[in-house]
């Protein structure tokens, strides 16, 4: 077999795989980076990492020269069902999202629509090297919806966590439903390594703390809770304080966004060991508050990254890492400038956000067996390599390369649990046409339920008027033209 034949054939399931001669970001405790090194996978585990490995007979070789091998990335918060309406809300704020989610389209999702969104989102994860995704599934109106979500996740060979939620009812209501509890117990007892389970709900800060009953169910069932905390205008310090006072803040708890909180809340989170899921691409445009990257460093809080939803943003962790570095650095510079000072050394480094995107997610999920490339760990492995791209070389700073140079199209090979799910830039064994048909039928359903006018209006929120300021360096012609060319429309906000 020639070299090119070996490269084009997707490795067969069940045979060992070795990545040869790559730059390996092990993401181990010491932050070991190896160059010209191999990663050997046997069954579902990483068997060895190092240069010139001896491999079992029949091992399939993947040439990693010029590429970067890293652990599979982990997204700790994505509303996967919403991927069925990919990109629809590009110009939204949280206000428009809430209308869409709670009052309009969200209510129209049938079980098959949840499945369509989940399946597409799950494939999107694998394709981008995200080997574990937490499905923050907060539109499960019924257990039929939940069964559909589960079916879709199980149909895609990635690692997922179903974070069960239902925005159409109070968490104290749906967690009391015996059918929901039976389903949660079934998932928990299955101990499926590829499908974990959590509870997903928010804490409003209502002093009567109605969410207490839901936390008690989580405790009784032994399930972690993930919650949108510190979201401007929605959740705040009161929710954190209530959780803490009632003993519900645990190391397993994930606080999503955790943006508009005060020192007191960050201290409570730090003291109880939970982790924050930073979704910077989301926080930058929706308005939850600034991504709390300065605070997590200051208070020593564990961090993972997340993408939130593809109804607005992208679903890949390259964007998460890049947005997170950009936002933190912008804040650091702006804070200094307000003091008349200059930042000469940045506090947040590329290596750190790669850690957050890999081992940070593993920590948040309580999984010590993923998130790094070390012998004995589960084989969730990503190869970034694109020989046809001028962006692939020179490869000088591997962490910087992952964050600022690479993108999802450069993901060459992905293994989950030792199984090759993407190879030579293509998903393996996926009928994307069938998934497309499924999603198209969901879009058709939602569009006809809402009606054309509401559909178009939902995608195009009213534009606030912008006053063009007088400018002494410009003469009158420009201004009068502008007035005739649409000034009145602008006043009306169109
Ligand atoms: Zn969210």
**Ligand 1 mean position, distance from CA 418 (Å):** 30
* Mean pLDDT of all residues in 142-147: 98
% of the chain residues with pLDDT over 90: 89
Q: How far apart are the first and last CA of the chain?
A: 63
**Ligand 1 mean position, distance from CA 236 (Å):** 15
Query: Rounded distance, CA 36 to CA 211, Å?
Result: 53
**Ligand 1 mean position, distance from CA 90 (Å):** 15
CA proximity to 64, closest of 41, 86, 44: 41
**Ligand 1 mean position, distance from CA 220 (Å):** 25
Q: Using 50, 70 and 90 to split pLDDT, how confident is the model at 13?
A: confident
**Ligand 1 mean position, distance from CA 411 (Å):** 26
Please give the pLDDT value at position 1: 37
**Ligand 1 mean position, distance from CA 100 (Å):** 14
Q: What is the pTM of this model?
A: 0.94
**Ligand 1 mean position, distance from CA 137 (Å):** 9
Q: Using 50, 70 and 90 to split pLDDT, how confident is the model at 157?
A: very high
Q: Which tokens is 359 given?
A: 């081992």
% of the chain residues with pLDDT over 70: 94
> Quick one: DSSP state of residue 392?
G
Please give the pLDDT value at position 469: 84
**Ligand 1 mean position, distance from CA 201 (Å):** 10
- Residue 426: phi and psi, rounded to 5, are -130, 140
β-strands 60-63, 17-25 pairing? parallel
Q: How far is CA 51 from the centre of its chain?
A: 33
Could you read off the pLDDT of 286-339 as tens digits, one per residue? 999 999 999 999 999 999 999 999 999 999 999 999 999 999 999 999 999 999
Q: How many CB atoms are located within 10 Å of the residue 189 CB?
A: 9
**Ligand 1 mean position, distance from CA 161 (Å):** 15
β-strands 275-278, 303-305 pairing? parallel
**Ligand 1 mean position, distance from CA 394 (Å):** 37
Is 85 buried (19+), middle (13-18) or exposed (0-12) by CB count in 10 A?
buried
**Ligand 1 mean position, distance from CA 442 (Å):** 21
> If you write DSSP's letter for every residue of 137-183 in order, what string do you get?
E-B--SHHHHHHHHHHHHTSSSEEEEEE-BTTS-HHHHTT-HHHHHH
Please give the pLDDT value at position 477: 59
Please give the pLDDT value at position 3: 43
Could you read off the pLDDT of 444-490 as tens digits, one per residue? 999 999 999 999 999 999 998 888 888 778 765 555 555 544 444 44
Please give the pLDDT value at position 100: 86
H or E stretch covering 281? helix 280-286
Residue 164 falls in which region: left (phi positive, over 0), alpha (psi -120 to 50) or beta = beta
**Ligand 1 mean position, distance from CA 491 (Å):** 34
Query: Rounded distance, CA 428 to CA 158, Å?
Result: 12
Please give the pLDDT value at position 467: 85
Please give the pLDDT value at position 480: 54
Alpha-carbon radius of gyration of the chain? 24
Q: How many CB atoms are located within 10 Å of the residue 193 CB?
A: 13
Between 95 and 373, where is the model more confident? 373
**Ligand 1 mean position, distance from CA 79 (Å):** 6
Please give the pLDDT value at position 481: 53
pLDDT at 491 over 80: no
**Ligand 1 mean position, distance from CA 308 (Å):** 5
**Ligand 1 mean position, distance from CA 113 (Å):** 19
CA proximity to 265, closest of 235, 304, 305: 235
**Ligand 1 mean position, distance from CA 12 (Å):** 37
Could you read off the pLDDT of 416-445 as tens digits, one per residue? 999 999 999 999 999 999 999 999 999 999
Is 369 buried (19+), middle (13-18) or exposed (0-12) by CB count in 10 A?
middle
Could you read off the pLDDT of 83-106 as tens digits, one per residue? 999 999 999 999 999 888 877 889
Print burial letters for 424-455: b (CB count within 10 Å at least 16), e (below 16).
eeebbebeeeebeebbeebbebbbeebeeeeb
Could you read off the pLDDT of 180-224 as tens digits, one per residue? 999 999 999 999 999 999 999 999 999 999 999 999 999 999 999
By the CB criterion, residues less than 5 angstroms from ion ligand 1 are 308
Q: Which tokens is 107 given?
A: 């209510």
Query: Rounded distance, CA 458 to CA 358, Å?
Result: 35
Query: Rounded distance, CA 66 to CA 339, Å?
Result: 44
**Ligand 1 mean position, distance from CA 293 (Å):** 17
Q: How many CB atoms are located within 10 Å of the residue 2 CB?
A: 7
**Ligand 1 mean position, distance from CA 207 (Å):** 23
- State the average pLDDT for the chain: 93
**Ligand 1 mean position, distance from CA 283 (Å):** 10
């Amino acid at each position: 077999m020639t070299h090119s034949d070996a490269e084009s054939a997707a490795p067969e399931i069940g045979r060992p795989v070795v990545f040869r001669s790559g730059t390996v970001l092990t993401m181990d405790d010491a932050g070991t980076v190896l160059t010209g090194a191999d990663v050997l996978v046997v069954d579902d585990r990483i068997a060895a990492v190092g240069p010139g490995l001896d491999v079992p007979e029949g091992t399939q070789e993947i040439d990693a020269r010029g590429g970067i091998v890293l652990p599979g990335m982990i997204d700790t918060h994505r509303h996967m069902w919403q991927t069925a309406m990919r990109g629809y809300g590009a110009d939204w704020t949280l206000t428009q999202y809430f209308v869409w989610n709670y009052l309009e389209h969200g209510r129209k999702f049938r079980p098959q629509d949840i499945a369509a969104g989940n399946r597409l989102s799950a494939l999107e994860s694998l394709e981008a090297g995200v080997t574990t995704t937490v499905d923050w599934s907060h539109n499960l109106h019924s257990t039929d919806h939940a069964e559909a979500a589960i079916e879709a996740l199980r149909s895609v060979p990635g690692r997922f966590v179903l974070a069960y939620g239902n925005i159409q009812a109070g968490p104290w209501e749906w967690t009391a439903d015996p059918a929901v509890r039976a389903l949660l117990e079934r998932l928990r007892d299955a101990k499926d390594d590829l499908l974990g389970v959590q509870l997903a709900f928010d804490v409003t800060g209502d002093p009567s703390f109605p969410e207490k009953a839901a936390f008690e169910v989580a405790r009784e069932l032994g399930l972690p809770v993930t919650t949108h905390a510190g979201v401007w205008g929605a959740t705040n310090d009161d929710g954190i304080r209530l959780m803490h006072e009632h003993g519900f803040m645990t190391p397993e708890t994930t606080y999503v966004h955790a943006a508009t909180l005060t020192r007191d809340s960050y201290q409570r989170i730090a003291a109880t060991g939970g982790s924050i899921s930073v979704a910077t691409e989301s926080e930058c445009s929706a308005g939850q508050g600034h991504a709390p990257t300065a605070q997590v460093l200051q208070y020593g809080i564990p961090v993972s990254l997340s993408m939130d939803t593809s109804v607005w943003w992208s679903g890949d962790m390259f964007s998460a890492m890049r947005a997170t570095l950009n936002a933190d650095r912008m804040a650091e510079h702006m804070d200094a400038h307000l003091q008349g000072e200059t930042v000469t050394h940045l506090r947040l480094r590329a290596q750190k956000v790669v850690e957050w995107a890999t081992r940070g997610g593993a920590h948040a999920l309580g999984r010590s067996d993923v998130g790094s490339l070390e012998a004995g760990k589960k084989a969730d492995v990503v190869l970034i390599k694109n020989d046809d791209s001028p962006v692939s070389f020179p490869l000088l700073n591997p962490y910087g390369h992952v964050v600022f140079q690479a993108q999802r199209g450069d993901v060459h090979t992905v293994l989950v649990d030792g199984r090759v799910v993407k190879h030579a830039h293509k998903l393996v064994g996926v009928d994307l046409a069938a998934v497309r048909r499924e999603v198209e039928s969901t879009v058709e359903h939602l569009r006809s339920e809402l009606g054309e006018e509401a559909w178009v209006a939902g995608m195009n929120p009213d534009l606030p008027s912008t006053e063009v300021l007088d400018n002494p360096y410009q003469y009158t012609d420009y201004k009068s033209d502008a007035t005739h060319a649409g000034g009145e429309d602008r006043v009306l906000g169109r």
